[in-house]
Structure 1
Amino acid sequence: MTASDALAVPVDPTSRQRLAESALVYRVIDMSDDADAEGFLRADSRGFLDEDPTEKSIAEMRPGFSERRNVGVFDETAGTWPIATVNGWITPLTVPGGEIPMWAISSVTVAGTHRRRGIARNLLEGELRAASDAGLAIAGLTVSEATIYGRYGFASAVPVASVTVDTVRAGWADSARTDEGRVLFCDRETLADDLGRLHERTRTARAGQIAGWAGRWKRAAGVFESDKERASVRGVHYLDADGEVRGALAYTLSEVPDAFRSELKVRALIAETDGALRALWRFVVQHDLVVRARADLRPVDDPLPWLVADQRAVQVSVHDHGWLRILDVPAALAARTYRAPLDAVVAVDDPLGFATGTWRLTVDGGQASTVETDGPADVSLDVATLSALYVGGVSAVRLRAAGRLNASAEIAAAIDDAFRAADAPLLGIWY
């Protein structure tokens, strides 16, 4: 199933009926229609508290949105813009050992004038029913408000690290050797192309990643004229000894008041090889006249603390980022591989009904099989907890300690051994 297949998915009839009972119209946006497209994009910007987009901004955003299934909720007494928005598309989600098609959800907004009317519930449940009806086994999103999505069965499954480096203290470790490649400045268009190619080549290396899109990399590289920081965006790429681009870095510099020094903020850092990663981090840490560097959306096992001379100069804060929601338990569990054998009866509770059931999960030779059963469960958990475990970035032992997973200590440890990803999962972009 491809991304374009999402465009043919109709709006969910249950949500359409519920919203119609409140005199609200729930429909797919026609992005080929100027007025429809502009209304959706302006409502989306309003919902995220962004500035009202200019005509240039709309022209820059529109191609990317046209590749998605955009849905608006309209109140005919409130003007021509939608009072709520959502969009979805189908993207490959990297899982241990492979990929699974995922329904990605974004642009979830409800106007402040229409809160507490069940609109968000119908948007999100409608997307989940649409995804399930289209045969998708999992949905995902990134969130601006983390307290909303658990009630719909989503859970934080891909934590990431936010890193702050005191570059004056950090230094560079003598053991952190770099190879014979070169770091060179590049123009914005080249940087955007490099980021896109590198992301596509590397996204299957870590569970949790999804496919990118051209607008994402143009925005990171400062190509869009509507970007307020565009003038301060710089870019470098790393060429290995054979002249091949193996890494790219987009960043901005901002002056630290009264210090005659700057702070470097990483917009995107993608490295295909360990040598490229070390070289780009060295460029950041040793940048002239920079006293502090910041980067977000880094893997929680990023080697940066081991690349500097003083690890205390690197502050790492882990936070939620990639949220997942399983819709079809057997299909989702069969799509990934496992690191250790497992034999357990798993009972899943799903208030929305998609994933409710009891299965005997057997892992042999890295592959899983699931058979429905009426037998007593070794593990009881809700769908959000199973979704948190899915790509191997959250510990079953930790979830058991939090009361989210009902199992013996031995079973929880066995689940950890089986589900754990070799490298920490990562989602390196917002969507």
Structure 2
Amino acid sequence: MTVIDSRDIPADPESIERLAAGSLTYRVVDGSDATRAELFQRATTRGFLGAEPSAEELAFGQQTFDARRNTGVYETPAADTMPVATIDSWVTPVTLPGGGELPMWAISGVTVSATHRRRGIARALLEGELRSAVSAGIPIAGLTVSEATIYGRYGFGSALPMAKFTVDTRRAGWAGPAVDGRVEYVDRDSLAAALDTVHDRARSARSGQIPGWPSRWTGIAGLAPGNTDGAKVRGVRFLDRDGEVRGAMAFALQDSSGSFRFALDVRLLVAETPEATGALWRFALQHDLVDQVTADLRPLDDALPWLVRDPRGVTQTVHDHGWLRILDIPTALTARTYSAPLDVVIRVSDPLGFTAGDWRLRLDAQSEPRVEAVEGADVDAELDISALSILYAGGVRAASLHGAGRIVADRNVVEALDRAFVAFPAPALDIWY
């Protein structure tokens, strides 16, 4: 798959004009200028309510900054001032149902200064990114969010729900099978390398996954400067019978009672095989002196509740995590595989107009999916692009969206959509971006 470099895409002209009307300057930051790069990083950290970054932290963040398209909004045209709003983006492969990939416009670092609320800045930032993606021919956009009420208005949908597990280890016990292989401790540098390697090999198994990047793995391994809890991070990896690394887990322990009993927080568990998943879960749940294990960003079909003796010792909380936004319906819908035949005409509304219209989707076992714009055909289902983007990853039922009024269709059409779009295994996104 050829991946476009987002840094080659200029600032969106419409957002430039819109913000200029409010005496604001919108531009892609020149990453070769160290002063501008530092000011941008400091503004992003401030936007997420972080402490003022040290020189070491800024140097650590520079590699990620250099790899992305960084766009800022400024109070004046002067280049060497701190932006009042930030956003960054890059083009990355995203795994689709069936194991294929599409280039996705990934969006991160969205901040607006508390001094500049209610001036249309967030709208200009988000819409500017989507128009830039469309101009580059990227068929889908994605992000993870700190606030879940903002992004639906731009056509994003919460397509990748994830689970947080809290385990009472004394009650849950263990009932999983024996595994041929071994778990061993690794230092934090080796942990970062193992997380990277296993995640990259395993991510093609589930739709919604994207590759990580160096600072993501070193951060999870507790090696990022400024991480006050970094020294608490420990790591293990699982080696199969042939000595191949098939799984890795970063975790931290916290004294939870004052009586030398501990809680174990799984920062990330990545596994390439069911054996690796089971072995790493067993290590966590049977760890000495640990009464509670927590783990977030786990897939909804995780084996954990079925690996313990008493599933009531496992509490599962489902929450939104990965948000997707289709920008090109024919490209997106023909790229994934489906679980059942389907022939429907869907009417899609789109607040930004990129995908609005009537579309016929035809799926059968003998040919590739076909999508075409139609006029005058009987419409089987109506939905907005946010709902279609939710349905696309295959992890949210069409019946659920129908029940919420997000899909208007007869029950038999809803059932047909459910059968076709469901993905196996469940979609997942196990990192923040």
TM-score normalised by the shorter chain: which range applies?
Answer: over 0.9
- Match in the other structure for 1:136: 138
CA distance in 2, matches of 1:240, 1:6: 39
- TM-superposed CA distance for 1:398, in Å, is 1.0
CA distance in 2, matches of 1:317, 1:346: 33
- Match in the other structure for 1:85: 86
CA distance in 1, matches of 2:2, 2:113: 31
Q: Which amino acid aligns with 1:368?
A: P
- Match in the other structure for 1:419: 421
Q: Which amino acid aligns with 1:331?
A: T
- Match in the other structure for 1:269: 269
Is the Cα–Cα contact under 8 Å of residues 11 and 28 in structure 1 kept in the other structure? yes
CA distance in 1, matches of 2:299, 2:227: 26
Pick from 169, 172, 190: which aligns with 2:171? 169
Aligned length: 429
Distance 1:117 1:2, change over 3 A: farther
Is the Cα–Cα contact under 8 Å of residues 363 and 369 in structure 1 kept in the other structure? yes
CA distance in 2, matches of 1:232, 1:369: 52
What pairs with 1:195-344 in structure 2 (closer than 5 Å)? Answer: 195-344=195-344
CA distance in 1, matches of 2:311, 2:359: 46
Q: Any idea what SS the aligned residue of 1:113 has?
A: helix
- Match in the other structure for 1:367: 368
TM-score (ref. length: structure 1) = 0.98
Is the Cα–Cα contact under 8 Å of residues 3 and 89 in structure 1 kept in the other structure? no
CA distance in 1, matches of 2:237, 2:305: 22
What pairs with 1:377-392 in structure 2 (closer than 5 Å)? Answer: 377-392=379-394
Q: Which amino acid aligns with 2:91?
A: I
Q: Any idea what SS the aligned residue of 1:101 has?
A: strand
TM-score (ref. length: structure 2) = 0.97
- Match in the other structure for 1:407: 409
CA distance in 1, matches of 2:137, 2:4: 14
- TM-superposed CA distance for 1:31, in Å, is 2.1
State whether structure 2 residue 133 is matched by structure 1 residue 101: no
Q: Which amino acid aligns with 2:81?
A: T
Is the Cα–Cα contact under 8 Å of residues 222 and 229 in structure 1 kept in the other structure? yes
CA distance in 1, matches of 2:137, 2:169: 49
Distance 1:4 1:218, change over 3 A: farther
Q: Structure 2: any 5+ residue segments left out of the alignment?
A: none
Is the Cα–Cα contact under 8 Å of residues 3 and 103 in structure 2 kept in the other structure? no
Structure 1, 70-79 or 186-195: larger mean CA deviation: 70-79
Deviations 1:107-159 (A, max 9, x none): 00000000000000000000000000000111000000000000000010000
- TM-superposed CA distance for 1:262, in Å, is 1.0
CA distance in 1, matches of 2:53, 2:409: 51
- TM-superposed CA distance for 1:3, in Å, is 5.1
- Match in the other structure for 1:180: 180
Distance 1:53 1:3, change over 3 A: farther
CA distance in 1, matches of 2:372, 2:217: 43
What pairs with 1:392-403 in structure 2 (closer than 5 Å)? Answer: 392-403=394-405
Distance 1:141 1:42, change over 3 A: same
Deviations 1:293-346 (A, max 9, x none): 110000011010110111111000000000000111111101101110000111
State whether structure 2 residue 30 is matched by structure 1 residue 30: yes
Q: Which amino acid aligns with 1:380?
A: E
Following TM superposition, the consecutive aligned residue runs of length 4 or more in structure 1 with deviations greater than 3 angstroms are 1-4
Deviations 1:42-87 (A, max 9, x none): 1000101111111111111110121010001011299811000001
Is the Cα–Cα contact under 8 Å of residues 4 and 67 in structure 1 kept in the other structure? no
CA distance in 1, matches of 2:174, 2:51: 41
- TM-superposed CA distance for 1:224, in Å, is 1.7
Q: CA RMSD in A?
A: 1.3
Deviations 1:166-195 (A, max 9, x none): 11211111xx11322110000111110110
- Match in the other structure for 2:12: 12
Q: Any idea what SS the aligned residue of 1:203 has?
A: helix
Is the Cα–Cα contact under 8 Å of residues 2 and 91 in structure 1 kept in the other structure? no
- Match in the other structure for 2:150: 148
Is the Cα–Cα contact under 8 Å of residues 220 and 267 in structure 1 kept in the other structure? yes
Q: Which amino acid aligns with 1:227?
A: N
Q: Any idea what SS the aligned residue of 1:128 has?
A: helix
- TM-superposed CA distance for 1:4, in Å, is 5.8
Is the Cα–Cα contact under 8 Å of residues 183 and 238 in structure 1 kept in the other structure? yes
Structure 1, 75-84 or 332-341: larger mean CA deviation: 75-84
CA distance in 1, matches of 2:178, 2:280: 10
- Match in the other structure for 1:430: 432
- Match in the other structure for 1:56: 56
Distance 1:387 1:82, change over 3 A: same
Q: Which amino acid aligns with 2:199?
A: H
CA distance in 1, matches of 2:4, 2:14: 24
Q: Any idea what SS the aligned residue of 1:168 has?
A: helix
Q: Which amino acid aligns with 1:215?
A: S
- TM-superposed CA distance for 1:225, in Å, is 2.8
Is the Cα–Cα contact under 8 Å of residues 101 and 138 in structure 1 kept in the other structure? yes
CA distance in 2, matches of 1:387, 1:259: 49
CA distance in 1, matches of 2:254, 2:56: 25
State whether structure 2 residue 355 is matched by structure 1 residue 352: no
Deviations 1:16-64 (A, max 9, x none): 0111111111111122211111101110001011111111111111101
Is the Cα–Cα contact under 8 Å of residues 25 and 77 in structure 2 kept in the other structure? no
Q: Any idea what SS the aligned residue of 1:185 has?
A: strand
Q: Structure 1: any 5+ residue segments left out of the alignment?
A: none
CA distance in 1, matches of 2:173, 2:417: 40
Is the Cα–Cα contact under 8 Å of residues 19 and 124 in structure 2 kept in the other structure? yes
